[in-house]
């Protein structure tokens, strides 16, 4: 039976430090398949391989995944420093214009971690290279060592705007999430609304104001054990509902 297709933005990796591949964590694909009821399709992060118009016509929605490389600061008018870490300019070249095109068309998107940062930058915002260095901020990075369960453990509360987009989605004014990121929002992009914060003030949940379709992002990683975590499951279910509507109506 046919299913909607969700494009999962991949990342560049090296196998054995010398064999280049495009890949994404299988937890992204399982969340899309099990909760959204959609066919997951990994998208190579390079517009030369996947022209934007082609993949928008192929896919019904998109997940902008996390990844170790960061958005290049030239995309928001700042110089590159050592604090910015590794870059992936090919992915930037695909995701930033793709996000703007999806917002314009009203096609569903869910932006996660790096994707959350891409959504803000695509709409004209900027990023801090290392939020743990800011006064009063906590360390939101992945704990060193340990198992996956320890790395992706629930670690902090996110307070949501009462009656806002995320509070309605989750049915509560606060949720508990994992946290595995170094960068964070500095200045918000045009039409970006911050709808949830960690206790140290770090933005954790955003959406595009007056978007034609589902266009939201979270700084945490809901894809980990998404079927078991009620917060993650609610998020992917809402995204999946939007994807299925787009698929039926297009």
Q: Of these residues, 59, 113, 140, 204, which one is catalytic?
A: 113
Q: 101: part of which helix (H) or strand (E)? A: helix 89-105
> Is residue 113 flagged as an active site residue?
yes
Catalytic residue among 72, 84, 181, 221: 221
Which of 173, 213, 179, 221 shows the shortest CA–CA distance to 61? 213
Q: Is 221 a catalytic residue?
A: yes
Beta bridge partners of 21: 13
**Closest alpha carbon to 32 in 250, 181, 239, 245:** 239
Query: Among residues 144, 94, 141, which one has the least CA distance to residue 113?
Result: 141
Cβ pair 197, 204 in contact under 8 A: yes
Give yes or no for a contact between 71 and 200, defined as CB atoms under 8 angstroms apart: no
User: CA 103 to CA 120: how far, in whole Å?
Assistant: 12
The residues assigned a catalytic role are 113, 221, 223
């Amino acid at each position: 039976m046919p299913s909607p297709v969700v494009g999962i933005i991949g990342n560049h990796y090296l196998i054995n430090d010398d064999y280049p591949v495009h890949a994404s964590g299988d937890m992204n694909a399982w969340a899309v398949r099990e909760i959204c009821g959609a066919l997951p399709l990994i998208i190579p992060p390079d517009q030369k391989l996947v022209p934007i118009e082609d993949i928008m016509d192929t896919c019904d929605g998109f997940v902008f995944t996390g990844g170790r490389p960061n958005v290049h600061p030239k995309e928001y008018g700042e110089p590159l420093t050592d604090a910015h870490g590794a870059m992936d300019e090919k992915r930037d070249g695909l995701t930033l214009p793709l996000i703007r095109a999806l917002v314009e068309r009203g096609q569903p998107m869910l932006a996660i971690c790096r994707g959350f940062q891409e959504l803000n930058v695509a709409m004209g915002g900027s990023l801090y290279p290392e939020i743990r260095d800011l006064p009063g901020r906590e360390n939101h990075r992945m704990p060193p060592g340990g198992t996956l369960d320890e790395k992706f453990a629930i670690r902090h509360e996110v307070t949501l705007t009462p009656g806002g987009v995320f509070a309605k989605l989750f049915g509560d004014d606060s949720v508990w999430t994992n946290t595995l990121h170094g960068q964070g929002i500095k200045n918000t992009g045009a039409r970006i609304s911050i709808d949830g914060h960690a206790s140290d003030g770090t933005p954790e949940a955003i959406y595009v104001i007056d978007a034609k379709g589902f266009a939201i992002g979270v700084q945490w990683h809901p894809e980990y054990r998404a079927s078991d975590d009620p917060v993650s499951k609610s998020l992917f279910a809402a995204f999946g509902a939007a994807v299925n509507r787009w698929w039926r109506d297009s």
